[in-house]
């Protein structure tokens, strides 16, 4: 009787200890799957932007691992800042291929910072990312504000007509005229008959 009671007690103890171990994996399998594919944001902008024009910013989002043809989709937010102050913000949809955002017309010289932030679509396997770049507006890169004139001719990129050496040509013509006059006088002097010093 004592042995039978001990066996029942041992069986009850084993079921109390082993049961949680058997149930734990089943509970862990019900946990949500939070892993995702990391992405990289590449921001491309010209290093120097002409003053008075709007910079064009290109943003490309790429997965960092093979995705069997799947592409990141979501929204891309582009901001432009100067000296820590934000001067432009625009959000565009990203459909798996690179997007181009045109910024505002900029007239102030200096260095500008560009930042692009990609926010993945809800339920996507891709993760969000961000990237940055910079560009300058320098002196001497201003817009061409010169008047083409009545003939509608074009000007060079700096807005100035090329130097054709006009004043130097005038001096050259004057020098040639003087040389020609001098040569004529010498020739006339040689042609003039000279008096015989022995004649009185």
On whether residue 177 sits in a domain, the answer given is no
Label residues 148-170 b or e (16+ Cβ within 10 Å = b).
eeeeeeeeeeeeeeeeeeeeeee
pLDDT at residue 81 in the model: 97
Quick: pLDDT tens for 73-125. 999 999 999 999 999 999 999 999 999 999 999 999 999 999 999 999 988 89
On whether residue 143 sits in a domain, the answer given is no
7 pLDDT higher than 80:
no
On whether residue 83 sits in a domain, the answer given is yes
Q: H or E segment at 119?
A: strand 110-120
Would the pTM of this model clear 0.85, i.e. be above it? no
1 vs 194, higher pLDDT = 194
Contacts for 113 with CB less than 8 Å, ≥ 6 apart = 80, 81, 82, 132, 133, 134
pLDDT band at 70; cut points 50, 70, 90: confident
pLDDT at residue 34 in the model: 47
On whether residue 46 sits in a domain, the answer given is yes
Give me the number of domains the chain comprises.
Answer: 1
pLDDT band at 62; cut points 50, 70, 90: very high
On whether residue 196 sits in a domain, the answer given is no
On whether residue 71 sits in a domain, the answer given is yes
Range of the domain at 60: 39-137
For residue 43, how many other CB atoms are within 10 A of its CB? 19
What radius of gyration, in Å, describes the C-alpha atoms of the chain?
43
On whether residue 180 sits in a domain, the answer given is no
pLDDT band at 68; cut points 50, 70, 90: confident
pLDDT band at 200; cut points 50, 70, 90: very low
On whether residue 22 sits in a domain, the answer given is no
pLDDT at residue 87 in the model: 96
């Amino acid at each position: 009787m004592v042995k039978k009671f001990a066996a029942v007690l041992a069986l009850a103890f084993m079921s109390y200890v082993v049961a949680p171990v058997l149930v734990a994996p089943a509970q862990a399998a019900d946990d949500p799957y939070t892993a995702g594919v990391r992405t990289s944001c590449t921001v491309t902008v010209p290093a120097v932007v002409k003053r008075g024009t709007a910079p064009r910013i290109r943003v490309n989002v790429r997965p960092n691992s093979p995705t069997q043809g799947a592409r990141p989709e979501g929204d891309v937010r582009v901001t432009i800042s100067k000296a820590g102050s934000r001067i432009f913000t625009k959000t565009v949809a990203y459909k798996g291929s690179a997007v181009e955002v045109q910024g505002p017309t900029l007239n102030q010289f200096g260095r500008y910072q560009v930042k692009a932030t990609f926010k993945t679509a809800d339920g996507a396997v891709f993760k969000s990312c961000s990237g940055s770049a910079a560009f300058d507006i320098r002196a001497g890169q201003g817009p061409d504000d010169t008047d083409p004139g009545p003939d509608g001719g074009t000007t060079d990129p700096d807005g100035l007509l090329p130097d054709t050496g006009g004043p130097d040509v005038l001096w050259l013509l004057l020098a040639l005229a003087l040389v020609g006059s001098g040569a004529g006088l010498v020739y006339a002097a040689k042609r003039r008959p000279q008096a015989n010093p022995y004649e009185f």
